[in-house]
Structure 1
């Protein structure tokens, strides 16, 4: 403690020294500036201008705006797999599920607790059925020891009901947080001796298919559906109900023994495999050498309980357990501490408890304090029992060569499963459950993929396979070798779900019927996918296109430039900025790059308009007193230049505009009309300064943009209905056709909006734009005007600063409704201002 106190003292002393140094330097600099009068005036003028701009920004915007878009991004417990879906429903009845399936045509994903770790419960732009509120117990038969439940119920909720009846779940995972439907979909297993996967304890299923039909599946009726749905990862249909076999709750006593790994198989065969008294058993294989293993078994007993709780309390505090996992993750030293200190101490007491308590663990004991920079992940390998001695050295080599931070390896035994089409236990196996720590950045993800592929080859070399609820890194060839009956599964899936509506990231990768030319073309097209949040974030960016247009129109109408609402324009930009960021704050991950860009252009615009506010309300207003009805030719060219610039930036980056030729054109304009000389020269000098600065600044921005960013994509890609009315042109290209759909490319920005208006007059349906299912549109209408809309979100109303009679309204809508929406607007004489193409 004294050392820590001393360290704090030292840090404090150094901090004070740094503050003193900075203060001294600033003080000396100010004294120097004050001593040089020629420096003082520009310095303090610049400082005052900076403060002025800061205050303009601070008093602008809409910080009180509190509307946010619905968060439709799903992730799993690892936080490594964010997937944005189209819609999330939480049904409580079978009819709600059937109705949702029948009233949609796109992909469907199904999820429960989200403990699968590789996108097995979600798919982009899908209707996501969150089953967790579909969680009732339908029936309990205490005589047959059977229970029928809705699939969204958690094991723990079943335990609370059956424990007073002295009944227990026959097969489940070690942890009780998982839903029954999820456990059945992955064909789970636990530490149960004398059993295999959960399929052996499932008696019957009620399943809702892709056309909304409800079917019963068991070993006598629809057996093929039964065999495909269990371990089928939601690809066959929605598991609505399941009937499960229960067993008696009994008292169990814990035993443990440490041994060399080469002795484990013989020990297991002699003491565990055929011992009917053993209920739970697993072996903890110690990293990093993987040469020793601790067998931990729980055996039936009549001894008095040492632990009298029937179930683990749901409000248990797991602070110690989560921190112990952190200690073990330190490296080899942490592994040593676990093997020689933590485990020996933990297993000292003799423990007798109820079977149900040992089956009621909570995953909270594994949850770290944060998963932002590092996260904990599982993998699992199923190795034939006779091959574990030859597999462990291969496994160890992969881990050590890739410096994998393995926290724990748990060995569980499973009997063969000859029923499930995606069976992971075609023979009697030991399951190697690997719990490891990895970084969350792309480099860490790429490394995990590399060693996982190496591990998959090692597994296949031992005639084993791997568990599919984790990262789907295995190649298609590896998958087909590890799961040779997958063809039966996908053939049945294609029969029941020919449009492949039930899908997720796992099934999409390995389903041969899901492959189409669009999927391949999307992967090949470099700029196909664009971040959906940018359709909202780009609205303030486009304001810097609309506002110059307003300014040019304002000048063209003959109004006094000094009266242009510059501050209202600044305020409007920052309002759009605040609203866009707030709207996207919960629904999407932060887009730091786009946010920075909006801040930079916003500050630039505020500096320009802030300077114009100062000038136009002083010098500009003074010279406006000398203005006459007729403008000079130079002033007309200035208006023409502003109009040319505002038109140019609708389709091309502003810094590509040629400013200098317009300065020459203004200065060489021949005067033929009566006009004010003073006003002419004042406007000419102001324009020259403005366009000269923009010419210089544009070169800097162009250089920075080209050196920092890639050339922006000038095409946007759509999946649309295959109709003959779409004709290729300079701005529309047909990329691929496939039956009733085709992929097209359209030029972005202003052209895209124009083409959407054209397509709205044809019989075209849009299914997807750049991989997204929603898009923002702004409209211009009279303030008194209103239109009725369905399934379209009104994001906010915005001002037209030069015309108080008009309003801008920004909407967010499904892409499939875009063309009907535009058609509806035009029939109501509403102007479609822009379609924001991400």
Structure 2
């Protein structure tokens, strides 16, 4: 019987949960998380704009104060196009051709245009792009920002084909920069990763479109330099060339070149079809990524078969590849990533053994190493080719878990030392693992670049993860100071996910107030309370499902405490509607001393959990207090003993259970900080107290303050709402949830405030709980407005 009774109880709890909640809730928070092609660098920004005019860009810069990040196709792979809580300018809709001069073979374009979109226009004119990447998906602004290169022979980076730029600076000014006017801005912007300003327009040199024929030859790596010098370097017929260095031994290389020809076309298409699905190429990359067996298959089967046909095609077609051919079927558990090393041409023989040893010792799954040649660039301040170099383009596969990321960082730092030992450098569009010392050695003109950036952008508004790491002018600002504070940053989704957890604070208070009012405990709406919890849970999970990565650990915790609450209230539903109702028939108008203590205990518990973890509450002293109380009243003895026995069972079990939970929590988790940090400014002096401290003052009137968390945080925010204070971020986040209690006829309307949903007050049908989501800069004005309208600000959910 006990076994079947247990099964029935489990079924009962299951049904309670199944018939609770709000499965039809379908609202989600807007996704403002940006990622790059690798999908391993998510960054949440404050707002995203997609301008189509220069005026829109200027307006956004002048009318915001937060950092600014700039992005195009998001093919850089280490946070070069985004920054936390920034105004992100997505340039892809700023994509018009401004003018074409067919006589001079020049084109002026808006920076958000893709190479492919230019090719569609200039191909009928029999013109071609002079320098671009191998793939045509990239935006022109992005290509200029990284000072890209391709497989073009006889050239260096793209800077040699850029004639003029139109740039929007941090104060909204529009300037023209070229080799004669604003020369320093021109050289800093190209290869400047968006740190100088927004590239609005670019004027580029074009060349003629011509027929090209493919040639290939496999040779030992020792012979490659001599072969290149003799057959490629000074051969003005060669348009494209690269060498595929075969892993895992790196002792053989295939040179692939495309030479100008007058032979008939074997491939008559002008450009690659944009609807090509690249199924074969993607799957072949997957085969190569298997391991050494895949590398062998590629070297001795795939490549020999692929290069059998003689191929003559248009230059523009060979320049119109789509990155879809590199895209794996999924990037969830593993992803493909690039690195690139620039080694002086005379050092490749000594560098390759070092590179090979690092890859082999660290078991790096290298899919391809492509060597491209580049002439020196002495113009760009962040030039990666201060001398003639071979670029080693490394395409490798890695896991997406934290351990895999740490492993990549480890061998990348080793590789960076090897590169520097050969007087080389590395390309910055990839993961910024290099130390500050390595960066300064590899990019000796970076001080000149950052000095100009500081002059044009003294507040360092144009930034991203790359610039933030290496910019010496940010070392003492608040952005860097907050990184030194342990537990400064908290996940923003927590502000929504904590709402159901906090309901286990609100509901005990409702229960305590209900008992204090003298109402029958058996009439308390236990099922409505269960239903309300699961509604808040399902809404919170749905709301955060698109905007944030899944927080599986916290979700599991909410499920566990939800089931615990359901079990407790499920038992009370059974008890209070049977035994409890029977003994309530004997209840008197006046309650016993024991019942008064029981009500005080429930009130003490509900007050306690507002600021402290529930399992730290001392349950047993209250049990002792009930049993030691003397009662000489003429209250119902039966009711007194029934309530006493129920309370004793409840608090005794919670005392035992709380110790288990406390032991588990302390053994599994670090003690959480009881402080939360804010970046604020005010015109008056902020009043410090034991719960509010100024941690660091920055430039102007900005400062970092620390505030005690949980219930006290809400109290302190209410105090700040009455001062002239502006909040810029809380715990590294720019949005926060707030709940209010008000009558059903009330509401609080303020621009920028979003009502997520309404929630029930289970003991009072005349009231409602509204849960709002708002920018942190709106928090204090919202509190002030709510209180002025006699609306109770219940809680500010501090992540």
Shorter chain as normaliser: what TM range?
A: over 0.9
Of 28, 46, 55 in structure 2, the residue corresponding to residue 95 of structure 1 is 55
State the match for 2:491 in structure 1: 531
Aligned residues of 1:63 and 1:578 also touching (Cα < 8 A): yes
Confirm or deny that 1:797 pairs with 2:758: yes
Q: In the alignment, what sits opposite 1:544?
A: 504
Shift of 1:522: 2.5
- The aligned counterpart of 2:672 is 712
Q: Is 2:180 the partner of 1:220?
A: yes
Deviations 1:608-667 (A, max 9, x none): 111111111111111111111111111111101100000000011111111111111112
Q: How does 1:82-481 map to 2 (within 5 A)?
A: 82-481=42-441
Cα offset for 1:722?
Answer: 5.8
| SS of residue in 2 equivalent to 1:833 | strand
Whole-angstrom CA distance in 2 between matches of 1:525 and 1:144: 57
Partner of 2:453: 493
Which structure 1 residue ranges, 5 or more long, are not aligned? Answer: 1-40
Distance 1:673 1:741 in 2: 63
SS in 2 for 1:101: helix
Q: Does 1:762 align with 2:723?
A: yes
Q: Which of 773, 781, 788 does residue 749 from structure 2 map onto?
A: 788
Q: Does the CA contact (< 8 Å) of 1:306 and 1:352 recur in 2?
A: yes
Q: Secondary structure at the match of 2:342?
A: strand
Q: CA RMSD in A?
A: 1.1
Q: What is the rounded CA distance, in whole Å, between the counterparts of 2:113 and 2:483 in structure 1? A: 38
For the 8 Å contact 2:214–2:258, the answer to whether it is kept is yes
SS in 1 for 2:79: coil
What CA deviation, in whole Å up to 9, does each residue of 1:43-88 have, x standing for no partner? 1111111111101101110110000001111111111111111111
Q: CA 1:785–1:724 in structure 2 vs 1: closer, same or farther (change >3 Å)?
A: closer
Q: Note the C-alpha offset of 1:529.
A: 0.9
In the superposition, the TM-score normalised over structure 1's length comes to 0.94
Are the aligned partners of 1:725 and 1:762 in contact in 2 as well (CA < 8 Å)? no
User: Are 2:604 and 1:644 aligned?
Assistant: yes
Distance 1:702 1:590 in 2: 26
Aligned to 1:20: none
Aligned position for 2:528: 568
Q: Distance in 2 between matches of 1:148 and 1:738?
A: 42
Partner of 1:66: 26
Runs of 5+ unmatched residues, structure 2? none
Conserved in 1, the CA contact under 8 Å of 2:684 and 2:724?
Answer: no
Secondary structure of the 1:765 match is strand
TM-aligned CA deviation for residue 519 of structure 1: 4.0
CA distance in 2, matches of 1:679, 1:546: 27
> Distance in 2 between the 1:528 and 1:201 partners?
45
Aligned-residue offset at 1:523: 2.8
Question: Helix, strand or coil: the match of 2:304?
Answer: helix
Deviations 1:697-743 (A, max 9, x none): 11111111111111122111112226663233222222222232222
Per-residue CA deviations over 1:496-544 (Å, capped at 9, x if unaligned) read 1110000000000011112225344433322111111000000000000
User: Structure 1 segments of 4 or more deviating over 4 A?
Assistant: none
Q: What are the Cα deviations for residues 749-772 of structure 1, in whole angstroms up to 9, with x where unaligned?
A: 011111111111112221221111
Measure the CA separation in 2 of the matches of 1:328 and 1:56.
52
- Residue correspondence of structure 1 range 632-781 to structure 2 within 5 A: 632-721=592-681, 725-739=685-699, 740-781=701-742
Q: Distance in 1 between matches of 2:9 and 2:407?
A: 50
Matches of 1:714 and 1:698, distance apart in 2? 20
Q: SS of the counterpart of 1:242? A: strand
Q: Is the 8 A contact 1:206 1:217 kept in 2?
A: yes
Give CA deviations for 1:779-808 in whole Å, capped at 9, x if unaligned.
111111122210111111111111111111
Moved more, 735-744 or 505-514: 735-744
Check whether the contact 2:43–2:82 (CA below 8 A) recurs between aligned residues: yes
Deviates more, 1:444-453 or 1:724-733: 724-733
- Matched residues in 2 for 1:518 and 1:712: separation? 23
Aligned mates of 2:673, 2:248 — CA distance in 1 = 48
Between 1:729-738 and 1:266-275, the stretch displaced more is 729-738
Q: Kindly indicate whether the alpha-carbon contact (under 8 Å) linking 1:186 and 1:469 is maintained by their aligned counterparts in 2.
A: yes
Kept after mapping to 2: 8 A contact 1:722/1:737? no
CA distance in 2, matches of 1:785, 1:200: 64
**For 1:143-168, what per-residue CA distance to the aligned partner results, in whole angstroms no more than 9, with x for missing partners?**
11111111111111111111111111
Q: Residues of 2 paired with 1:487 and 1:659: CA distance?
A: 63
Secondary structure (helix, strand or coil) at the match of 2:578 reads helix
- 1:351-381 per-position Cα deviation (integer Å, ceiling 9, x unaligned): 0000010000010010011111111110001
Q: Residues of 2 paired with 1:647 and 1:612: CA distance? A: 22
**SS of alignment partner, residue 296 of structure 1:** strand
How far 1:348 moved relative to its partner? Answer: 0.6
TM-score by length of 2: 0.99
Q: Distance in 1 between matches of 2:290 and 2:174?
A: 51
Rounded Cα–Cα distance in structure 1 between residues aligned with 2:171 and 2:485: 33
In 2, Cα distance between equivalents of 1:349 and 1:55: 67
Whole-Å separation in 2 of the counterparts to 1:335 and 1:298? 25
Mapped to 2, the partners of 1:248 and 1:323 lie a distance apart of: 35
Aligned with 1:51 (options 11, 16, 20): 11
On the 8 A contact 2:474/2:480 being kept in 1, the answer is no
41, 66, 78: which one aligns with 2:38: 78
